Amino acid sequence: MTAVEEVPLSAAGNPIGFGSMRRVEDARFVRGQGNYVDDVNLPGMLHSAILRSPHAHARIVSIDASAAEALPGVVAVITGKILEGIPRPSLLGDNFAWMPTLSYDTQAVLATDKVRFQGQEVAYVIAESRYIAKDALELIDVDYEVLEPVMDAKMALDAGAPIIRDDKGQTDNSITDVHGNKTWESGNAESTAAAIAAAKADPNCVVVTQEIMYPRVHPAPMETCGSVSYLDKVTGQLTMYTTTQAPHAHRTVYAMVAGLPEQKIRIISPDIGGGFGNKVPVYPGYVLSVIGTIVTGKPVKWIEDRNENLTSTGFARDYHMTASIAATKEGKILAVDVDVLADHGAFNGVAQPTNYPAGFFNIFSGSYDYPDAHCKVTPVYTNKAPGGVAYACSFRITEAAYVIERVVDCLAQELQMDPAELRLKNLLRPEQFPYTSPTGWEYDSGQYEKTMRVAMEMAGYDELRREQAEKRTRGEYMGIGISFFTEGVGAGPRRDMDILGLGMADGIELRVHPTGKAQLRLSVQSQGQGHETTFAQIVAHELGIPPEDIEVLHGDTDNTPFGLGTYGSRSTPVSGAAASVVARKVRDRARIVAAAALECAPDDLDWELGRWYVKGDRERGKTIAEIALLSHSSLELPEGVEGHLDATAVYNPPSLTYPYGCYICVVDVDPGTGQVKVRRFIAVDDCGTRINPMIVEGQVHGGLADGVGMALMELIAFDTDGNNLGGSFMDYLLPTAVECPDWELGETVTPSPHHPIGAKGVGESATVGSPAAVVNAVIDALSPFGVRHADMPLTPANVWRAIQGNAIRVDMAIE
């Protein structure tokens, strides 16, 4: 169950089980042989482009597409009016101009009445080439009557604010979820309020309240979104190559949206150039490419350019949070209350389990032992792009981890207590697990203090504090920031977690060929996580088949069983468990076959890696390859085996897994310019069993870079006219190697007790945990100036302003 067992190596030098091995998929990527959606070119294929709104809020008076239609090479121009005229035989609205979102809201495929954000889809051109399609966009004449937009989320609910969703008959900009709620609360409001009030009245206690914004950022995968759709009119088969993290869920959604029979829809998600949540939703562009092939009878390709990806597809965060923390003066945390204003943009397109409209934000009570916690989230519409819960956030645990880790540091400052000491005083203790948090989560396992001590040891924490004190006397400002995070990842269980009614359990299928080589068919889909490598290792661990003899298939709904896809760090907790379970089924079946061949009872056999043998007689046994061949042979098979070893399984997780970690960041700040240099970053992760430590490290490296990016530079802000100020990579800054230090990684291993191999998800841990460490470090550096908080991103301007006592409001244009 742990990763430290001695693992034998295969002939190819790979671990037959867990251990570092090179990623199988890299052989094609480093040769430039990946196959991305834009690499798909079908005979007779047409290209397409979307005309997007330049305005954030405007009524469409008229659209004249005649000049575009007349351009040689243009095949069709489609507008919202045309879509409105196409009846839809489905439960989800009666025409094609609107589609459902993953949160049971409606979103325009092409705007009919109004545009509601800059970049919204207005018209769709299908042409013989991408160039012609783009040329045609310029010939479409749209007459807009510009309306006042709602750009400041804090003003969205003001009386007299312009109404964004008049299409739904709304009289304000509030959002009502599928359960009829306009706010989302969790925890115990009364006991938390009482605890905070009591602390306020108690001279031995303190209460610290801090406004903390997690601004809007974008997942910005290197590959933008796109699809190639082809409806074969003879067979009625729709084949769609598309950038999706959830091919099976998308298939069902298209069946529901388009009214096409699901058995005739094949979704192929080939190599995907990064997802980070950006490729979970169904976008108008995907739907339009389907409409395009229906209309033209030809394959139609739609690929976004960078600007379209950044301005119209799923953003992340945009949470305005106010957190209050109560504690004794000795530093014992008593209660935390968080009030959130959630900016959801123009359509509520958030992707999360239905029962969790604020995602898993209510895990914000964090890694600490205190009885009272409560949060209230108020979602609003604004004239911004829809989406949310994207960007490696584990369903808003990023916001949750950030707010608690930031406010704990505020408390430390208030108490003039070392933030490490404050955390150590409050961390959950090993004997408290499984631990039920004040907001109802059941943390599976953890040794928090141990992990934190490993991180402090690696950092040389006391020495760093000494260095800091010494530097301060010389007017040099270094900062040390700590973040201790706990995530809950691996949605479902199915009883509690679904998206659009689809329970979050994963199917899997393992075929063992007569020669003992295997194929594993996954429902989840890799966007760079290395599934083709790690899933083979799980089967290798269970069956002793070398990983290079196991082909992992994924991303094609015709060739893989149903499942909900890869996001929220769920692949290993859910499908990884499924892989283990299905391999064990094969192993059990192999036992029966082996017993028949060895002329004994299955119970008389013992297992060693790759082989069943007769108890007490190691010489008499059959390898899995021998058994595979026997299972296809004329051997008389007993009850329980019909022939061959293949098996399927569906894994419905009993609960989430709870990876956690302690991160320590060291920065140097130049107060004269506000520039921040991340000097060191120590990350100790505990994700339970590590299937492939090298891949875990790769995931952590990427997430840490994400965290540095969000903490210091990534941002989508808007001006009051509604212009998106992060629409290109000149404006939306991603970190480079220059901003990243040499990551110093450590680990502790506390397996999940309920996962078959004890693994927890790790794909998002670093993205969740690292921003707070960086921000805490910068604020720590600035504390001699009396700075307690400044919002991300901590650009040089923002840092300098914070020193002046006037930090920047980040969600709006800088004035």
Partner 1 sequence: MQTPAPVEYARATSVGDAIALLEKHGDEARLLAGGHSLLPMMKLRLARPEILIDLNDLDELRGIRIEGDEIVVGAMVTHAEILDSPVLAEHYSIFREAEKVIADPIVRNKGTIGGSMCQADPSEDLSAVGSALKGSVIIQGSGGKRSLALREFHEGPYETKVGDAEILTEVRFPIRPGAGSAYEKVERRVGDWPVASAGAFVVVAGGVVKDCGIGLTAVGAEHFCAPDAEAFLIGKAPTEENLSAAAKLAADACTPYADQRGPVDYKLHLAHELTLRVLRRAVASSQGA
Binding site for partner 1 (CB under 8 A): 38, 130-131, 134-135, 138, 303, 305-307, 672-675, 712-713, 715, 717, 725, 728, 730-731, 733, 735-736, 738-739, 795-797, 800-801, 804, 808, 813-815
Tokens standing for 645? 């070893």
Q: How far is the CB of 675 from partner 1 (least distance, A)?
A: 6
The answer to whether residues 565 and 532 touch, using CB atoms and an 8 Å cutoff, is: no
For partner 1, the closer of residues 37 and 454 by Cβ is: 37
Shortest CA distance to 116 belongs to which of 349, 289, 292? 349
For partner 1, the closer of residues 403 and 716 by Cβ is: 716
State residue 702 phi and psi, 5-degree precision: -60, -45
Q: How far is the CB of 434 from partner 1 (least distance, A)?
A: 43
Q: How far is the CB of 131 from partner 1 (least distance, A)?
A: 5
For partner 1, the closer of residues 164 and 777 by Cβ is: 777
For partner 1, the closer of residues 519 and 723 by Cβ is: 723
Q: How far is the CB of 53 from partner 1 (least distance, A)?
A: 16
Q: How far is the CB of 51 from partner 1 (least distance, A)?
A: 13
Across the beta sheet with 550-553, what order do the strands follow?
550-553, 518-522, 506-512, 647-651
For partner 1, the closer of residues 305 and 457 by Cβ is: 305
Distance CA 86, CA 94 (A): 8
For partner 1, the closer of residues 668 and 686 by Cβ is: 668
- Sequence-ordered strand ranges (E) for 498-590: 498-499, 502-503, 506-512, 518-522, 550-553
Tokens standing for 777? 């470090």
Helix %, strand %, coil % of the chain (to 5): 30, 25, 45
Q: How far is the CB of 715 from partner 1 (least distance, A)?
A: 8
Residues 6+ apart with CB under 8 A from 127: 46, 47, 48, 49, 71, 73, 74, 75, 133, 136
Place of tokens 């109004």: 114
Across the beta sheet with 660-670, what order do the strands follow?
477-486, 660-670, 675-686, 743-747
Q: In degrees, to the nearest 5, what angle opens at C-alpha 603 toward C-alphas 600 and 608? A: 95
Tokens standing for 511? 């075929």
H/E stretch holding 607 reads strand 605-608
For partner 1, the closer of residues 107 and 795 by Cβ is: 795
For partner 1, the closer of residues 303 and 614 by Cβ is: 303
For partner 1, the closer of residues 436 and 806 by Cβ is: 806
Q: How far is the CB of 716 from partner 1 (least distance, A)?
A: 10
Place of tokens 């993953």: 102
H/E stretch holding 241 reads strand 237-242
b/e code 217-242 from CB counts within 10 Å (16+ = b): bbbbbebbbbbbbbbeeeeebbbbbb
Q: How far is the CB of 813 from partner 1 (least distance, A)?
A: 7
Q: In degrees, to the nearest 5, what angle opens at C-alpha 146 toward C-alphas 143 and 150? A: 145
For partner 1, the closer of residues 432 and 806 by Cβ is: 806
Which amino acid belongs to residue 142?
V
For partner 1, the closer of residues 35 and 436 by Cβ is: 35
Q: How far is the CB of 309 from partner 1 (least distance, A)?
A: 12
Cα dihedral angle (278, 284, 287, 292), rounded to 10 degrees?
-130
Q: How far is the CB of 657 from partner 1 (least distance, A)?
A: 35
